[in-house]
Chains A and B, each alone.
Chain A
C-alpha cells in the first residue's frame, strides 16, 4: 500500500535542489534538474541508463560536485549559485555535517569487507559520532533484527548473499540515524530472486515514514511504494507525478515509450 502523505508534514522540506547543472568534461549530464522532497515522502526516480538519475542522487550528498545550481538540505545550504555563476560549496566540515542528515545505499553495497556485519554497522557511530560500544551494540542488534539478519551478526560480508549484503548496508546507513535515505539502484546488482527481500525492507521503512529518494529500475516498487515518481531522460526531468496517476496515464511520449519497454 502506498503510504499517504501526511498533511502536517507536507510543508517540511527535506531536500531542495534547484537548477542543478553538471558536466563530465564536455558531456552535460544534468541540465537544470530541480527537485523538492518533503518529510516522509518516498520518491522514485526512473529513467533509461545515462539519463543522469544516479548522478543527480550522488550530487545531493556531495559524491559529485555540481557546476551550477543550489542544494539545500533541511534548510542548510550545501551549495549555492549566484545567478548563472558556478556553485559555491560551504566548508568541508559543514559539508560533512550536512551529509550526515542523509544515509546512502549503493548498488554495489560498499560494505567494509575486513569487518564483520556488526562491525560494519557500529563503525561510523563509534568513530564519527563518538558513541560508546555498549550504547551502539544493542542498537545495531535491533537494526539487524529489523532487516532479518541477527544470525549473521559475526559473519564477514563476503560470506553473505547479495540480498543480505544490501540489507546490512541499509542497517549500516540507519545506524547513523539519518533523516533521509538515498538509494542508488539498490537492487540492480542482485539476482532477481534476491530483490524481493531488499524491497521488502525498503517498503517497511516507507511504512515508517522514512523520507526516501530511490533511483530504481523496479517499476513495481515505484508504483506500489513511492508516493511520487520522477522520470528523467537526457539529464532533465521529463515528467513527474503521484505514482498511481503516473503509471496509469503518462503524459509525455518519452515516458510512454520508456514504460512500454519496461513493463
Chain B
C-alpha cells in the first residue's frame, strides 16, 4: 500500500500530461469537426470532395504515423513546414485526426434530422444558416451524444501514443517505474487512473443525455 501511495506523485504528473492533451484536443477537434461536417454536406462539390479526401487520409492512416509525421517530417515539408516542439506537435496531430472522426459523427447526426424540419423552417422564412443554427444543430447534439461519448473515451486512451515523442504521459511514467522496480503494480495503478477518467466522462455524457431527453416522448 505504501508503495502504491509512493507512486501517486509521479503518476499524477503523468495523468496531468494525459489530461492536458485530452482537453486541448477535444476543445479544438469538436469545432473543427463541425466545420468539416458542414463543408462535407455543402452543395459546393469541390469543397465537399476535398473534405472527403481529408477524412479518408486521417481515418485511413494510423494516428501513430500522423504523430511521427507532424513531429519528424513536417519541418521538411516545403511552404507549410514548421518545426514544432513535442507537445504542440502531439496536439496538432491529435486535433487533425479527431476532427475527421467527429466530422463523420456530426454528418451522420445532421443527416438523421427529418427533411420536414428543414421545410418547417423554410416556410417560416428562415435562411439555411438560421435553420442549421437554430433547428438542425441543436437536435443533432442530442442524437450524437452516444457516439461522441465513445470517441471521447477512445481519445483518453489514445493519448498514450505520445510516448513515441518521449512525452511523459500516464502510461509512459508507469512503464518507467515498472522497468525500474521490476513490478507490475504501476500498470494496475495506471489502469485505475484511466478507469477513473472514463468514469467521470461517462457521468458527464449521461448527464448531457438526460438533459436532452426532456423533449423526447
CB distance from B171 to the nearest CB of A (A): 40
Count B-side interface residues using an 8 Å CB cutoff.
23
In chain B, what residue has the closest Cβ to A115?
A: B215
B216 and A99 within 8 A (CB): no
| Residue A50 CB within 8 A of the other chain | no
A108 interface neighbour in B116, B135, B214, B215, Cβ under 8 Å? B116
Among A102, A106, A112, A172, max chain B CB count under 10 A is at A112
| Residue B124 CB within 8 A of the other chain | yes
Given contacts A108-B116, A112-B120, A123-B134, contact A176 B125 (CB under 8 A): yes
CB distance from B141 to the nearest CB of A (A): 9
In chain B, what residue has the closest Cβ to A175?
A: B124
B127 and A96 within 8 A (CB): yes
Given contacts A127-B134, A158-B216, A158-B217, contact A110 B126 (CB under 8 A): no
Count A-side interface residues using an 8 Å CB cutoff.
30
| Residue A113 CB within 8 A of the other chain | yes
A179-196: contact bitstring with B at CB < 8 Å (1 yes, 0 no)? 000000000000000000
| Residue B149 CB within 8 A of the other chain | no
Interface of B, helix, strand, loop or mixed by DSSP: helix
Interface of A, helix, strand, loop or mixed by DSSP: loop
In chain B, what residue has the closest Cβ to A111?
A: B120
In chain A, what residue has the closest Cβ to B216?
A: A158
| Residue A156 CB within 8 A of the other chain | yes
How many angstroms from the CA of A176 to the CA of B217 in the assembled complex? 28
A81-112: contact bitstring with B at CB < 8 Å (1 yes, 0 no)? 00000000000000010011011101011111
In chain B, what residue has the closest Cβ to A102?
A: B123
CB distance from A241 to the nearest CB of B (A): 29
B116 and A110 within 8 A (CB): yes
10 contacts between A and B (CB under 8 A): A99-B125, A104-B123, A108-B116, A112-B135, A113-B215, A114-B142, A114-B212, A128-B126, A158-B217, A172-B124
Contacts from A to B (Cβ < 8 Å): 61-63, 96, 99-100, 102-104, 106, 108-115, 123-124, 127-129, 156-159, 172-173, 176
